[in-house]
Amino acid sequence: MKRRYLEIDVFGAEPSLGNALGVVLDSEDLTTDAMQEFAAWTNLSETTFLFPSTAEGADYKVRIFTPTRELPFAGHPTLGSCFAWLQAGNKPSDPNIVAQECAAGLIEIRKDEKSLSFKSPALIKYGPIETALTSEIAEVLNIDQAKIIDSHWLDNGPGWVGVLLSSVDEVLAISPKSKSSLNIGVFGFYEQNSGPAYETRAFFSENGVLVEDPVTGSLNAAAAQWFIQSDRCSAPYSVSQGLAINHKGEVKVTQDHDDSIWIGGNTHLTSFAEVEI
């Protein structure tokens, strides 16, 4: 059966410099195995499949796959899937908010004149990382443990752990080991008062092989909660990611009066096709 398939660039400061996402519309009768096989074929960091909603209050349902596994939630697939759903001519029940159903629950997405943003989901695990794990992270990153000035669990679904280094240069210089079972976020603050607040790098494990993600919504959502709560940042601000691998990602962080944190960025359609799945 032929199905509509879009490829979308998400979080790019400029078109085609963010994180690519594949989105399959018309996914109703696809099996989990078929979705996983197609996600392996696209070989993108994530591919999503859209369905009619099954949860009360949701506008649509999404399932999110890496080339090797399904995720309960991820950030750039959330914005890219919403963009694709809207591009297909769909309208949300609430004109101001799109409600996405995923394995992690309902995710709220809103649209302004320039970009989409999602409301950061609750953290599943949050708090200081134990010393033994910090030591393992330093070993995986090939750095002296003394260079890690702070560390935290930042798990909102994908299982991130985060470490803060003392400078952007230290973050960009990292050359991690090729194998690990950890999903690691690394951060370093810029010194200037204008421009991005900090640089992010994200390393996730695919079957034990460490892969760098160009721009990562879920990690930056959790990091925003960490840095705002610890008074290192005050929203609104922007984050840079992807420079180490020739991308130019820009993540926009805002905060409502009720302290809800929103993660936004640009979305651009790069290609459209009909595929046989």
Task: Please give the positions annotated as active site.
Answer: 46
Rounded distance, CA 11 to CA 76, Å? 7
Where would I find the beta strands (DSSP E) of the chain? 2-10, 19-24, 47-51, 60-65, 70-71, 97-102, 105-111, 116-119, 125-127, 150-155, 160-164, 183-189, 198-206, 209-213, 237-241, 249-255, 261-265, 267-276
Rounded distance, CA 133 to CA 242, Å? 25
CA angle 148, 239, 69 (to 5 degrees): 80
Conformational region of residue 83, where left means phi above 0, alpha means psi within -120 to 50, and beta covers everything else: alpha
